[in-house]
Amino acid sequence: MLDRKIQTALAAWKASTHKKCLVLQGARQVGKTFAVERFGKTSYQEVLSINFKETPSAASIFKGDLSIDAMITALRFRHPDLAISPESTLLFFDEIQECPEAITSLKFWTADGRYDVIASGSMLGIDYKRPSSYPVGYVDYLTLTGLDFEEFLWAQGVSRDLSSSIWHYFNERKPVPAAIHDELAAHFRLFCALGGMPEVIQAYEDTGDIRKADAIQRALLQGYLYDIAHYANAEEKIKAERCFLSIAGQLLGKENHKFQYKLVEQGGKAAKYFSSIDWLMQADIATMSTNVTKASCDLVDYEIAGNFRLYCTDMSLLLAMRDLSLKQGIVESSLSGNTKGGLFESFIVDALHKSGHSLHFYRNESTKREVDIILQKEGRVIPVEVKGGRAAANSLKALMKSSPEIDLAYKVADANVGVDEDGIVTIPHYMAMYI
């Protein structure tokens, strides 16, 4: 059983006063249903779970009067084995996007305040056939992604004391002892080869066979393509699928990782495809990093419209677009060329996306200097240069010299923790989640 940090967030929601209904967001197969049901079993006497995709007839509960008493009566008729009491029952509405009336009812559950209600589902808000906007001011939100590296370490049996010690070395800017560093680097390479999808990681933990994990990655990819076909409108289906499947080529097949429409379709243009990119992002299938011309607050003021890089929201999806041998190269640290650069950039983007960062990158057209990632946190701009090996971060140094307001920068590399004479903090790849 995989331990997830979301359990702590769910417990905090339950303990809060004047709480609202909770909407758990996230892409398909990241473990939302499992997380809520596990939380319910450990925190309540009973869980009343309705999956509107599995049991569409349950929508009838919400077709008439949406008063709490009327809905509770209907629920009790449907579930006579449950007490359904305010003190002991968690109401869980899964795949709620399939029942717009259930979404509307969240307002009334919150206003009433007697029952704890969690709603979840994939593709929330992007199914054009079913309006599914949430009642403003009546719901709180949490987002679940695939596993991050620390959660993966727990799955690997690494003690929480050891995994939490990574933060200590990061925060203190101290090198990790060599034996621990080598062990963590090996764990990180395996994590990168598997990605963070719970089913993939569980299969590997159960069998130790990366081929089984690879098969599940490919099945998940097909599931995502099915969702595009099922939820996107007729105009977007083919375009969104083409954009999604082009991500591997955009990142691994060329030195410049800027998204190019010509790789989606010969002669492809933004006017035709950008709405499909937006759809993929709304569906939590892809995430974007936007080019900025200046590394200064606020970064959004310096964005170049239409100049961006596109990434999968979990490495499991990107890796499923390539041959099994790529995973072998990752684990054995035998990658080279554009593939290595694109993969390591994707690894670090994966970690930062799961940490909740908005992503940008810097490119100066006159000097041709680039910095892979630019972050903004609490009014501070933080550039991050990603290296597959231990190469010097010349572009990062040049950016710091030309931007005196930048007082912190990271080089993420195949190296231990250190600080150079330019003030650049070098950290190993596995520490990216702490930036």
- Give yes or no for residue 56 having a pLDDT over 50: yes
Taking only the tens place, the pLDDT of each residue in 104-155 is: 999 999 999 999 999 998 765 555 445 556 788 999 999 999 999 999 999 9
Taking only the tens place, the pLDDT of each residue in 349-358 is: 999 999 999 9
Q: How confident is the model at residue 214 (pLDDT cuts 50, 70, 90)?
A: very high
For residues 219 and 283, which has the higher predicted lDDT (pLDDT)?
219
Distances (CA, A) of 305 to 87, 289, 338, 371: 51, 11, 25, 18
User: pTM for the complete prediction?
Assistant: 0.91
Q: How confident is the model at residue 231 (pLDDT cuts 50, 70, 90)?
A: confident
The dihedral through the CA atoms of 427, 5, 288, 331 has a sign that is: positive
Distances (CA, A) of 356 to 351, 376, 429: 9, 11, 18
Backbone angles phi, psi at 120, to 5 degrees: -150, 170
Distance in Å from the first CA to the final CA of the chain = 28
* Residues in CB range of 98: below 8 A, 6 or more apart: 52, 53, 56, 59, 121, 130
Give 375's strand partners.
Answer: 382
- For the chain, give every domain's residue range: 6-143, 149-434
Place of tokens 């209907």: 74
Taking only the tens place, the pLDDT of each residue in 391-411 is: 778 889 999 888 888 999 999
- Give yes or no for residue 39 having a pLDDT over 70: yes
CATH fold, domain 6-143, is Rossmann fold (3.40.50)
The three-state secondary structure class of 238 is helix
pLDDT at 124: 55
Burial degree of 296 (CB within 10 A; 0-12, 13-18, 19+): middle
pLDDT at 129: 47
What is the DSSP annotation of 327-396?
Answer: HHHHHTT---HHHHHHHHHHHHHHHHHHTT--EEEEEETTTTEEEEEEEEETTEEEEEEE-SSS---HHH
Taking only the tens place, the pLDDT of each residue in 131-144 is: 556 788 999 999 99
- What the block records as the tokens of 209 is 């066979």
Determine what percent of the chain is predicted with pLDDT higher than 70.
97
Backbone angles phi, psi at 250, to 5 degrees: -65, -35
Give 91's strand partners.
Answer: 48, 117
Distances (CA, A) of 114 to 198, 252, 347: 33, 52, 44
Taking only the tens place, the pLDDT of each residue in 330-344 is: 999 998 877 899 999
Angle between helices 32-43 and 6-15 (to 10 degrees): 50
Taking only the tens place, the pLDDT of each residue in 72-104 is: 999 999 999 999 999 899 999 999 988 999 999
Q: Quote the distance between the C-alpha of residue 414 and its chain's center.
A: 24
- Give yes or no for residue 61 having a pLDDT over 50: yes
Phi-psi region at 189: left, alpha or beta (left = phi > 0; alpha = psi -120 to 50) = alpha
Q: Give the integer Cα–Cα distance in Å for 99 and 219.
A: 27
Distances (CA, A) of 380 to 296, 302, 372, 383, 421: 8, 15, 17, 10, 21
User: Which residue, 318, 377, 307, is CA-closest to 345?
Assistant: 318
Burial degree of 153 (CB within 10 A; 0-12, 13-18, 19+): buried
Q: Give the integer Cα–Cα distance in Å for 187 and 68.
A: 49
pLDDT at 127: 52
Give 168's strand partners.
Answer: none
Q: How confident is the model at residue 184 (pLDDT cuts 50, 70, 90)?
A: very high
Taking only the tens place, the pLDDT of each residue in 8-20 is: 999 999 999 889 9
